[in-house]
Structure 1
Amino acid sequence: MEREIKKWNIIYPVYMNSKKTIAEGRRISASKACENPTCMEISDCCAHLKIPHAVEIDKAYPRDFMQVGRVRFQLKKADGSFWNPAISSKKALMLQIAELVPKHHERTKKQETTGSSSAAGAAGAGPSKSGKHGKKKK
């Protein structure tokens, strides 16, 4: 089983992160990408789409070793047919996952609990006048 997984395709969370630029590793358009996806969210989406997958939490993204974790997946069965006929490419899978991640149960739970506290924190922030200091007229 371990040898088989090594041949599977890889998705790094950065591929679908709307906060990253294409130069930083994003692979789909920012409008379709989601904000800071995690390996576990990607894994849950693969399970939802009935795609065989494996999470490798100890692996880092080569361009940025602080981005830890990746998901290996398999699009085709041994006979060449697709596991999910609606998903026929890696890009199609990334687009589907990016659409599902914002609806992930962990994210919807977090939004409900932090929704009321974030409004109170933003009330104290106002325009500051510090921009005019330091300039002298000649």
Structure 2
Amino acid sequence: MDAQLANIKKWIVLYPVYINSKKTIAEGRRISTSKACENPTCAEIGDCCSHLKVPFAIEIDKAYPRDFMQRGRVRVLLKREDGTLYNPAITSRKQLMLHIAELVPRHPGRNKKQETASASNAGPSKSGKGGKKKR
């Protein structure tokens, strides 16, 4: 197994952009917006991979070619050397992306971030426009 883990170049590459609902297909999203999640991070994807019991490695020094400002990607191994799957529920890259996109919104670190964001925006949501017209 160590020899297989050393050959990381053959593993599947997952960029967070692939499952980001805020991106368009032209920007690199690979699954439908209804199934995608909002702004996933490499750490969240890695945690989801460990939850799915699939070997993974996070590469922080790498960037997505279409958006090189977004750093990091995750390498994932779906099959053992003998060809058997690590997780029988995940047979392809697409299934892996769908499973991860489903798990990321339930990530423990994510719920706290969203609660603080919604609490700070709790003020009146009135825009500056409207009111009486001046003559």
Q: Scaled by the length of structure 2, what TM-score is found?
A: 0.88
RMSD over aligned CA atoms reads 1.7
- The CA distance in 2 between the partners of 1:107 and 1:8, in whole Å, is 27
- Deviations 1:4-25, CA, capped at 9 Å, x for gaps: 1111110000000000000100
2:93 is the alignment partner of 1:90:
yes
Q: Return the match for 1:7 from 10, 13, 18.
A: 10
- The CA distance in 1 between the partners of 2:37 and 2:115, in whole Å, is 18
2:129 is matched with 128
1:107 is matched with 110
Structure 1 stretches lacking a partner, 5+ long: 130-138
1:116 is matched with 119
Shift in Å at residue 114 of structure 1? 3.3
Shift in Å at residue 124 of structure 1? 5.2
Identity of aligned residues (%): 66
Shift in Å at residue 39 of structure 1? 0.3
2:54 is the alignment partner of 1:35:
no
Do the aligned partners of residues 124 and 82 (structure 1) sit closer, same or farther apart at CA in structure 2, a change above 3 Å counting? Answer: closer
2:133 is matched with none
User: Could you list the runs of 4 or more consecutive aligned residues of structure 1 that deviate by over 6 angstroms after TM superposition?
Assistant: none
Q: Scaled by the length of structure 1, what TM-score is found?
A: 0.86
Q: Which entry has the higher C-alpha Rg, 1 or 2?
A: 1
Q: How many residues were matched structurally?
A: 128
Give the letter for the 1:28 counterpart: I
